[in-house]
Structure 1
Amino acid sequence: MRPATVFLLSALIIGSLEAKPNIKNFFSKHFFKDVYGTIDANIKVGDAGKPLILTDLIQQDQIDEAQAAAEVKLDAFLGVKSYAGYFRVDEIYDSNLFFWFFPSQSNFEKDPVIVWLQGGPGAPSELGLFGEIGPFDIIGDKLVLRNTSWTTSSSILFIDQPAGTGFSFTNGGYAQNQTKVGDDLYEAIYQFFQLFPVLQSNDFFVAGESYGGKYVPALGYTILKKNPTGEIKINLKGLAIGNGLTDPKHQYKFADYLLQLGLVDDKERDMLKEIENQVAEKIDNEDWLEASKLIDDEFDAIDSTADLADIHNYLVNYSDFDDFDTDELGDFLRREDIRKAIHVGNTPFQKDGNVYANLQADIPKSVAPLVAELLEHYRILVYNGQLDTVVPYSTTVEYLQNLDFVSAEEYKNAERRKWRYGSDVAGYIKSAGNLTEVLVRNAGHLVPADQPEWALDLINKFMTNNL
């Protein structure tokens, strides 16, 4: 993708995959706004058949047959080996999560396995696959290989989740909280390791960005609680959260930050602070839906005052999008041969806004207590792009400064270290116990898209405990 194309990954603006929006409106839409109404649920894709649900084969212990059925075979994928299909995660609601798995290009049987969780709520994992960390980039209607893919040294599992996101589907079983998110994801991960038993002893990491700041801890916590009784012990070693929303009360504080950047003046700052105070009050009173609506109001206010071309990176201009084609990914995923190859059949892509609507009241809720407990057992990387105005670095630090975990005092007094990549200072690191906090320079909300080489270096060093 061209440099501007990475901003297709805006965690919520999935409508762009279905219709061409006005570029300015597309990129000024807000992070937690429900704009799914533009999606056409009845896209004509020819006859790509039925989706491949692997759960029955797995339960019948027909593992070889399931692997063979899931293998993706199409010249368009440039010889890159992958597997795709569905795991049924809820029998009552017939909830099925779509996955696309890419074995490591180095040592498949020994390299770590990473599950990547996109944000949203409601953003499909294909955004991270094609725009950030997967083995491919899209140029026009063709794929090209990405030399900074995380698959160079790890196996990567992409999952469309929660149910109803992307190619995943459900008959009303939408998640309304992170407990349901964690339960469904755990079921998918458990079936994945049944499907690939050779990987059960490999190091396993959960990674994600944006609203993944909730998904990642939710899955990690569910693994922590269910591992003792599970026949398969998931070998979780760590979690990585990029520009993640985890603790909204401490992270929805944009006013002073935007004033310091010169993007608002004193009067506008005071107006934003008033909204933020109202959000905090609603959170304290557990009035979740009203808090969520006020959050939308604040993003509206930021848009009308700062008029940023892309709220995910405040240095981007509208003119940077002149040659941007928002249809490339959508066109690719509509193709009949692609749909057959990845075994989604005629399943509509992102049918409606039910995922967002059902999680809207979840947006203001904190999962910081889960992070605190997880830090007693696993290493956690929290990284932030320097240029993000959706989840600013300063607000991530505030949440971590208020996190009640075993190494809290050590973190508050930790020395900041430089992280170098070649001759460049890629960022700055603080470590305390199992927590590693990193600021990534010259990156916005989507660090692997803005700084792909640095992001690859960061995740590899984290997994090998070498930061």
Structure 2
Amino acid sequence: MRRELRIRWRSSTSKFVVAFFAALYCCSCSARTNVKDDGALYLSPMIRDGRIDEARAACKVRLDNSTAAAVDSCAGYLTVDEALLSNLFFWFFPATNGSSGAPVVLWLQGGPGASSLFSVFNEHGPFTVDAAGVLQTRRHAWTSTHSVLYVDNPVGVGYSFTADDAGYSSNQTDVARNLYAALVQFFTLYPEYRQNEFYAAGESYAGKYVPAVSYAIHQNNPGAQVKINLKGLAIGNGLIDPINQMVYSEFLYQNGLIDEDGKRLFKVQEDLARDRIANQDYRAAYAAMTRMMITTPSLYSELTDMQNIYNVVWNRNPIPFEGGNWDRYVQGPVARAALHVGRRQWSSVDTVYERMKYDIPMSVAPWLAELLEDGRYRVLLYSGQLDAIVPYRGTVNVARALRWTGAERFGNATRTTWYLVAKVAGYATTYGPLTELLVRNAGHMVPYDQPAWAHDMINRFTSGKPFD
């Protein structure tokens, strides 16, 4: 029997929003002096004191490249736990089409431990970085039709940081609490966006983060002073409900990457991982899961001699966007000055991953099901056809296993073909608020592999246009 993840919010949660700023700043001012000389921009004190115009002026991003200078954006730090000096870094891009009513999209990268700035430069932000380290305009930027808020999440990822080890997240409740605290401050800083439709989106391990923060919004909105106009969730190649997503044996076999013996070996590991999850032995489940695709060597690399797990047509590392120009650029002096990070260090994946690794086998499906059951939120689960680490069939399993009143009718829904400019972009199954979507010829990072289709996808989803 699947274990349903039970979330216990702190006893003060129901009063969280009303007392948010008082709680956030209840510690002595001396706590803030530890970071005040690092040159970074901390917006929370200005937000707390009502110095909104000052904060908005301070966080403006000014890049010397003429291409980038034409794009309006702001960046800085939002303090989410004053006692632990925990801060989330964000970079916000208002929609470049000039629409004040454009949907607001929160974008979260996966990992656990990957920076959302990866997506700014490699997937759907307004820029790319060329071989000379110069910013160039992206043709299919989501920021052209949406106002996009990129957050380095959880605390400790990218430019986000904490001064205390207790500030690192170890589960999705921690993640959601910090993200929600940041969002309340963001919409206090930019109240004109509160009425806009809001969507939480992300890929990979953000398959956990997106339902977590959405559920936090859902729980807190009724009593909130700052209400967030949540309308939906979009999850790409997301790890959501691992017990239903371990389909490596069949996926790799059907793609010809392993033979019958290899399929049997993978099946043994899958069964072991499922058994450990069912018994809530998450340490053992983590070991069984990572042995298949993550460890060095992994069962995947041993049986296929393939090193890359993000797209079955890519062989060895580095993958096209790793070891490239974007991470050097974002850590360089020009970007650091423009993004107001001062002397804060760019953080690697390792610390955050170690803190969250036993969260990996756990499920957030009950949250997702409750959001669907509510009926006010649309959910898009999209998957690249060629992804090896979170295969498409696993996403189908998640969608069909969700326990809500529309489950049976979703399972019987007719699949449609999604076209863009007379080309087949993918296939969709929709019933009510839930859509499951396959994107052709794409791997784990759909917007990287198929930028035009991904842009059409997010436009259709947020506008309510069907995939046909």
Q: Which amino acid aligns with 2:371?
A: L
In structure 2, the residue matched to 1:424 is: 423
Q: Which amino acid aligns with 2:48?
A: Q
Give TM-score scaled by structure 1 length: 0.87
Q: Structure 2 CA distance, aligned partners of 1:274 and 1:160?
A: 36
Partner of 1:458, secondary structure, is helix
In structure 2, the residue matched to 1:143 is: 135
Partner of 1:280, secondary structure, is helix
Q: Which amino acid aligns with 2:146?
A: S
Deviation of the 1:327 alpha carbon: 4.1
Partner of 1:213, secondary structure, is helix
User: How do residues 233-382 of structure 1 correspond to structure 2 at under 5 angstroms?
Assistant: 233-299=227-293, 300-318=298-316, 326-351=323-348, 353-376=350-373, 377-382=376-381
In structure 1, the residue matched to 2:451 is: 452
Q: Which amino acid aligns with 1:380?
A: V
Deviations 1:119-156 (A, max 9, x none): 00000011011000100001021000001000111100
Deviation of the 1:92 alpha carbon: 2.0
Q: Structure 1 CA distance, aligned partners of 2:431 and 2:129?
A: 40
Deviation of the 1:317 alpha carbon: 3.7
Do the aligned residues in 1 keep the contact of 2:221 with 2:227 (CA within 8 Å)?
Answer: yes
Q: Structure 2 CA distance, aligned partners of 1:297 and 1:255?
A: 13
Q: Structure 2 CA distance, aligned partners of 1:340 and 1:352?
A: 23
CA, structure 1 residues 320+54, in 2 after alignment: closer, same or farther (shift >3 Å)?
closer
Do the aligned residues in 2 keep the contact of 1:372 with 1:406 (CA within 8 Å)?
Answer: no
Do the aligned residues in 2 keep the contact of 1:108 with 1:155 (CA within 8 Å)?
Answer: no
Q: Structure 1 CA distance, aligned partners of 2:321 and 2:417?
A: 35
Deviations 1:292-313 (A, max 9, x none): 1111111110111112242111
In structure 2, the residue matched to 1:45 is: none
Q: Structure 1 CA distance, aligned partners of 2:178 and 2:360?
A: 19
Q: Which amino acid aligns with 1:447?
A: V
Q: Structure 2 CA distance, aligned partners of 1:316 and 1:361?
A: 29
Deviation of the 1:349 alpha carbon: 0.4
Select which of 73, 82, 95 maps to 2:86: 95
Mean Cα displacement is larger for which, 59-68 or 393-402? Answer: 393-402
Partner of 2:45, secondary structure, is helix
In structure 1, the residue matched to 2:113 is: 122
Deviation of the 1:91 alpha carbon: 1.6
Partner of 2:211, secondary structure, is helix
Q: Structure 1 CA distance, aligned partners of 2:81 and 2:104?
A: 24
Q: Which amino acid aligns with 2:391?
A: P
Partner of 1:133, secondary structure, is coil
Q: Structure 2 CA distance, aligned partners of 1:66 and 1:406?
A: 45
- Greater than 4 Å deviation, 4+ residue runs: 318-321
Partner of 1:316, secondary structure, is coil
Q: Structure 2 CA distance, aligned partners of 1:451 and 1:429?
A: 16
Aligned sequence identity (%): 44
Q: Structure 1 CA distance, aligned partners of 2:346 and 2:213?
A: 24
User: How do residues 383-398 of structure 1 correspond to structure 2 at under 5 angstroms?
Assistant: 383-398=382-397
In structure 2, the residue matched to 1:202 is: 196
Do the aligned residues in 1 keep the contact of 2:122 with 2:321 (CA within 8 Å)?
Answer: no
Do the aligned residues in 1 keep the contact of 2:113 with 2:349 (CA within 8 Å)?
Answer: no
What are the ranges of 5 or more consecutive residues in structure 1 without an aligned counterpart? 1-47
The answer to which structure, 1 or 2, has the higher relative contact order (CA under 8 A, 6+ apart) is: 1
Q: Which amino acid aligns with 2:135?
A: L
Do the aligned residues in 1 keep the contact of 2:114 with 2:349 (CA within 8 Å)?
Answer: no
Partner of 2:150, secondary structure, is strand
Deviations 1:5-64 (A, max 9, x none): xxxxxxxxxxxxxxxxxxxxxxxxxxxxxxxxxxxxxxxxxxx95111100000111100
Is residue 181 of structure 1 aligned with residue 175 of structure 2? Answer: yes
Q: Which amino acid aligns with 1:254?
A: Y
User: How do residues 431-446 of structure 1 correspond to structure 2 at under 5 angstroms?
Assistant: 431-446=430-445
Select which of 149, 154, 158 maps to 1:162: 154
In structure 1, the residue matched to 2:43 is: 54
Q: Structure 2 CA distance, aligned partners of 1:93 and 1:207?
A: 27
What are the ranges of 5 or more consecutive residues in structure 2 without an aligned counterpart? 1-36
Is residue 220 of structure 1 aligned with residue 209 of structure 2? Answer: no
Do the aligned residues in 1 keep the contact of 2:199 with 2:232 (CA within 8 Å)?
Answer: yes
Deviation of the 1:346 alpha carbon: 1.1
Q: Structure 2 CA distance, aligned partners of 1:51 and 1:351?
A: 19
Computed over aligned residues only, the root mean square deviation of the Cα atoms, in angstroms, reads 1.5
Deviation of the 1:78 alpha carbon: 3.5
Deviations 1:69-93 (A, max 9, x none): 0001122224211100000001221
Deviation of the 1:337 alpha carbon: 2.4
Q: Which amino acid aligns with 1:57?
A: M
Mean Cα displacement is larger for which, 249-258 or 110-119? Answer: 249-258
Do the aligned residues in 1 keep the contact of 2:120 with 2:126 (CA within 8 Å)?
Answer: yes
Q: Which amino acid aligns with 1:157?
A: L
In structure 2, the residue matched to 1:80 is: 71
Q: Structure 1 CA distance, aligned partners of 2:148 and 2:45?
A: 23
Partner of 2:168, secondary structure, is coil
Deviations 1:438-465 (A, max 9, x none): 1000101110000000000010011011
Q: Which amino acid aligns with 1:465?
A: G
Q: Structure 2 CA distance, aligned partners of 1:125 and 1:98?
A: 10
In structure 1, the residue matched to 2:10 is: none
Q: Structure 1 CA distance, aligned partners of 2:464 and 2:337?
A: 40
Do the aligned residues in 2 keep the contact of 1:178 with 1:214 (CA within 8 Å)?
Answer: yes
In structure 1, the residue matched to 2:406 is: 407
Q: Which amino acid aligns with 2:360?
A: I
Partner of 2:123, secondary structure, is helix
Q: Which amino acid aligns with 1:81?
A: D
In structure 2, the residue matched to 1:28 is: none
Q: How many equivalent residue pairs?
A: 419
Q: Structure 1 CA distance, aligned partners of 2:314 and 2:334?
A: 36
Partner of 2:136, secondary structure, is strand
Q: Structure 1 CA distance, aligned partners of 2:425 and 2:110?
A: 24
Q: Which amino acid aligns with 1:100?
A: W
Q: Structure 1 CA distance, aligned partners of 2:279 and 2:437?
A: 32
Q: Structure 1 CA distance, aligned partners of 2:200 and 2:122?
A: 19
Mean Cα displacement is larger for which, 289-298 or 383-392? Answer: 289-298
Q: Structure 2 CA distance, aligned partners of 1:135 and 1:307?
A: 36
